[in-house]
Structure 1
């Protein structure tokens, strides 16, 4: 057995912590490596644990990785509570209720040839300090690891997630509503139907596939945009909903099949819950501040650990109802919500179902179409996209060059937007121009991708800013 620090193994394998857990190529996520990551977590972060909740998404590689994690758990004499294929927030919720840590095998939205592992303390996602402790830990990498058979899933894990929402919203909350579910390969495709039907909705199932589809709710594929519009013409529904692979990020569309932006979903959900403090990354829509709906708004780096840290700080400072969201729509609840004698407990990890239900129930209660729920928001619109297979080193070098040359920055990012007004380097390079337009470049923390976020006064202008900037980047890269 080879003994190294987890940091050494991460460098050798290319499997490393990003903005949300450890991620890497499936071929590099060997049983021994996954065993090592789990061993480091159990020893360096939760050494007193006796039970670990374990589950995964529907990627073909996920069960074998989960089995390697189970082998590590059992080797330390701990018990495995196996949830099976369930949404990440469902596994995290049950672990919190059980007072146990959790491990979730998921690659979320990243390309099919990759996967990942997320780690949770009893109280929620691990911190960057926890990641550092894991990386410093000495681990053995077993050779010829024999993987145990995964047990039958414990049905209590799913039931707890369903009960959370049915108990709070009520069995008549969506009575008379018709909701389409774009199922694709989302791990939530069955439990989402269960929840919606338990709330009284009629559910239409669409697009189910056994082939994994890497849905990115922050950069929705053109084919998914067109498909939703076609479905709206074929079916009479009030809304269409979906999630990314592990169901911690929502995709919510209106009766016309038009997908809502994730950061708009976040603002609307925070309003529905009557939040007093909202924490979100710097990339989210600036309409958040303009609504003047919230006593406190905190901007962070991109990634749920930073959002969670901001939420914890806001709660310590006395904020009454703290929430967080990311530009991908994933929503985090940091405080309990009390309504009409019903309680919704905190779930400080990204969740796709809460924002769906908040908007669906809010629209029904307000007698609004889903296309009308955001009509009061300031007219600021965002767009985002990415260049895949763009080396992180290349992204970083580009950003460094632009920081040093404002003329090049303007020419590459938004030549028609006027002079640079301000630069935000919280995470990547986010530039406000005199026109009011915003363009933000940032290397992904999970994959070799360069992401672009743009904001303007119209949908078309935001999309044009984003598309044109990425085209110019590609042109520059080709000339290098």
Structure 2
């Protein structure tokens, strides 16, 4: 039997099929999910969805069988994006399970779990207990009582039209000037949801949008490129298509379509922090129009300093938290925040049960662009105030020792320091041009992740290069700058 601790991590389940995640394992996790979350919460059932990966239908069916074995009813919504599953969990007020490995290669699959109303299930909110019970079951554990009422029922439900209608009700694009938008679905679930939300496949009225589809065919083997737009190599086709078609903008979704990346009419990427600032400004206005007097916006420690500036300029309160969806969602609920954004292009909305939805962020960008005449590059410039390095990963043998070297470097410079999530170091008071950086250890790999931002490119590059020398100690180290990882 596999060791579940090898692939059930801080936020979700993600492993190789079938060596780690097999139907037998999925059934045990479903049984454990019912015992640890569903029954104690008093929920009447759960909702299950899955992405386009070849293994997803079989794995999700095995998981549902495990849940049903504990007397719990299962509603199967079938093919969906992760935010489509969150919609179903919220609208039906049921716990949920989404079978997806997001942007990971085809040989992977995984499960994102939530309580009713899309509340997160992470390492500290039930996932560790689910893992341990499932492992016990796989190792031959017996003794779970047979439900007196027998197994739960299973039925199917199509929520795509309701999902599309709900999102359109939150952001009205119908009054936009005509826009041409290229959408790269990467053969992922964006090819399923975009025609429903931005088009007419769900029976909704046409929007003033001309959508140019790119890789809308659902194919979990990802024949064209990885469904990970955080890697610049996977934006190349979108950028070329935007320029070729003379489009106003381009959108790229990851495999499960819960993240959305944006490029302007020149094919230049708009940073997720700029999108966070733009959407935050709109959500602040919307909240105020709805009667909110105190408005909070959550962002993670790696977001641009411009995000907090934009939030304060609009009279709202920025709330800084750790990287990761469970932390963002938890802090949003605590602060009653209307919106939250991450550097990885996850965007969270109070009106979407504090869950993340790339499609709703895309609607905001389309509405903001369409209600004025400037190109997206000019619109985004007001939110892109600094120069960022992007995430740079270094393989290290002893993260604690290396972080200690970085801390010593900062102390010698007289820099500011905090430890909310790794180390965040800011330029000494009075130093100009200003800079800051965050360095933090991966939860899953022997990596240190570095993000640097500064007032100008020369300063950013100087700080970046000096830090890489401290981190890598002059020896070669593997590095990359892509992925939705933690």
Normalised-by-shorter TM-score class: 0.7 to 0.9
Instruction: List alignment gaps of at least 5 residues for structure 2.
Output: 141-153, 200-205, 288-294, 479-486
Among 199, 222, 229, the alignment partner of 2:232 is 222
The answer (yes or no) to whether the contact 1:323–1:333 under 8 Å persists in 2 is yes
- The corresponding residue for 1:339 is none
Matched residues in 1 for 2:331 and 2:237: separation?
A: 37
- TM superposition score normalised by structure 1: 0.81
Query: 5 Å matches for 1:362-401?
Result: 362-377=368-383, 379-387=385-393, 390=395, 394=396, 397-401=398-402
Among 422, 442, 465, the alignment partner of 2:440 is 442
Matched residues in 2 for 1:465 and 1:37: separation?
A: 45
Matched, 1:244 2:244: no
- The corresponding residue for 2:244 is 234
> Offset at 1:471?
8.2
Among 83, 86, 90, the alignment partner of 1:89 is 83
Among 13, 23, 26, the alignment partner of 1:22 is 13
> Offset at 1:121?
0.8
Matched residues in 1 for 2:455 and 2:53: separation?
A: 38
Please give the root-mean-square deviation of Cα atoms over the aligned residues, in Å. Answer: 3.1
User: Runs ≥4 in structure 1, deviation > 6 angstroms?
Assistant: none
Paired residues, what number?
Answer: 434
Matched, 1:277 2:296: yes
Matched, 1:186 2:205: no
Task: Give SS of 1:384's match.
Answer: coil
- Give the direction of change, closer, same or farther, for the CA distance of 1:479–1:159 in structure 2 (3 Å limit): closer
Query: 5 Å matches for 1:142-291?
Result: 154-155=157-158, 157-170=159-172, 172-174=174-176, 176-197=178-199, 198-208=206-216, 210=219, 211-212=221-222, 213-217=225-229, 220-274=230-284, 276-291=295-310
Matched residues in 2 for 1:111 and 1:474: separation?
A: 28
- Give the direction of change, closer, same or farther, for the CA distance of 1:349–1:446 in structure 2 (3 Å limit): farther
The answer (yes or no) to whether the contact 1:110–1:447 under 8 Å persists in 2 is no
Matched, 1:126 2:124: no
Query: 5 Å matches for 1:398-437?
Result: 398-404=399-405, 406=407, 419-434=413-428, 435-437=433-435
Spell out, residue by residue over 1:232-261, the C-alpha distance to the aligned partner (whole angstroms, 9 max, x if none). Answer: 331111111121111111111111111211
Matched residues in 1 for 2:20 and 2:45: separation?
A: 28
- Give the direction of change, closer, same or farther, for the CA distance of 1:467–1:256 in structure 2 (3 Å limit): farther
Instruction: List alignment gaps of at least 5 residues for structure 1.
Output: 3-7, 144-150, 316-320, 335-344, 411-417
Among 130, 137, 141, the alignment partner of 2:138 is 141
> Offset at 1:298?
1.1
Q: Out of 361-370 and 203-212, give the one that drifted further.
A: 203-212
Matched, 1:115 2:113: no
- TM superposition score normalised by structure 2: 0.80
Matched residues in 2 for 1:208 and 1:420: separation?
A: 52
Task: Give SS of 2:35's match.
Answer: helix
Spell out, residue by residue over 1:446-478, the C-alpha distance to the aligned partner (whole angstroms, 9 max, x if none). Answer: 566543322122468657865885687567564
> Offset at 1:430?
2.6
Matched residues in 1 for 2:381 and 2:100: separation?
A: 35
The answer (yes or no) to whether the contact 1:399–1:429 under 8 Å persists in 2 is no
Spell out, residue by residue over 1:75-110, the C-alpha distance to the aligned partner (whole angstroms, 9 max, x if none). Answer: 223232222221111111112111211101111223
> Offset at 1:74?
2.3
- Give the direction of change, closer, same or farther, for the CA distance of 1:378–1:31 in structure 2 (3 Å limit): closer
Task: Give SS of 2:25's match.
Answer: helix
- The corresponding residue for 1:331 is 347
